[in-house]
Amino acid sequence: MAEETEGPVKRTRVVAVRLTEQEHAAWSAAAAEAGSGRLGTWVRTTMAGLLNGHRATPARPGPPPEVAALRAELARVGNNLNQAVRAANVSGLDRVSSAELVARVDAAEAVMGQIREALRS
């Protein structure tokens, strides 16, 4: 039986879970849909609910599966963009190639922003 304490609970144990990019995107989307700002908090809350015999319910109704899938895909695209830019920085692209990459990433971000806004509607 857990002992009750006053004040914030100090968590000292760490649990590591390896995920694929798709799993991470899906978990992150589910956490966001549940209104959780942090993936770890969502996992802890969800597991606590399961251990107590009930599913954790989202703070608000979730989007249709198609929207959740699009959000997960956007997360993957964003991750790929970050990896491409990081690789470009490490490889030391010339100035012309760097400018072209920046322009393409900016264009992709603009399109992703439009998609995000459409998904929010």
Token code pair at residue 94:
């010339």
Distance in angstroms (rounded) separating the CA atoms of residues 89 and 84: 9
What digits encode the pLDDT tens for the residues 72-99?
888 888 888 888 888 887 887 787 787 8
- Select the more confidently predicted residue: 63 or 100: 100
Backbone angles phi, psi at 35, to 5 degrees: 85, 15
- In angstroms, the CA 100 to CA 114 distance is 21
Mean pLDDT value of segment 6-34: 85
**% of the chain beyond a pLDDT of 70:** 84
Who's near 51: CB < 8 A, 6+ residues apart?
A: none
Sketch the domain layout of the chain as residue ranges: 18-62, 63-121
User: pLDDT-derived band of residue 5, with 50, 70 and 90 as boundaries?
Assistant: low
